[in-house]
Chains A and B, each alone.
Chain A
Amino acid sequence: GQQLNQSPQSMFIQEGEDVSMNCTSSSIFNTWLWYKQDPGEGPVLLIALYKAGELTSNGRLTAQFGITRKDSFLNISASIPSDVGIYFCAGQKMRAGGTSYGKLTFGQGTILTVHP
């Protein structure tokens, strides 16, 4: 099935460093979301973006919805050990008529490792 192109696939960083990851698509999405998934658990929503160009922050996390509506990025500032996990971007499309069932299309994930 279709998945978004997410990069990088993995990152190994030192505690305190900033992190940046992005997601691209060949088609337009009307909503972009970023999730974090820890081993053995379900994805947890970090940030949701609803408008092209929107820049939204949640604590040390900042995400932007690309102007073309085909991409998004997530930044994490001053990383800490508990940031370790897998980060997924996800997009939602509108159906014809302007409605959306809300099904999510996910990227392949970015595995983040933070060394203390």
Chain B
Amino acid sequence: GAVVSQHPSRVICKSGTSVKIECRSLDFQATTMFWYRQFPKKSLMLMATSNEGSKATYEQGVEKDKFLINHASLTLSTLTVTSAHPEDSSFYICSAASGSGNSEAFFGQGTRLTVV
């Protein structure tokens, strides 16, 4: 399958600072990328869908100004957690797909964010 790489795999940041997570498709062009958040002992929740060159579509209850998503190229999407707080600590994972809704989405390895 295709390869999706997330960076960093782990990050610790101070409360009040911002942190950026990158999601890259290494061997294909990702027209659509998805960002998920996994709460402890809970499932993955879709946060937003981003299409290259357009604004991201956020799921209900996700703060757009807090979780900034940029999908500026066909191989890179970034999630920036602004003014992070301890409750933002979580596992964030992206998936990427090329083409239409019938093309498979491939997952990155995830990023463990800890806000102290």
A and B: bona fide binding partners: no
A residues neighboring B (CB under 8 Å): none
> Which residues of B line the A interface, CB within 8 A?
none
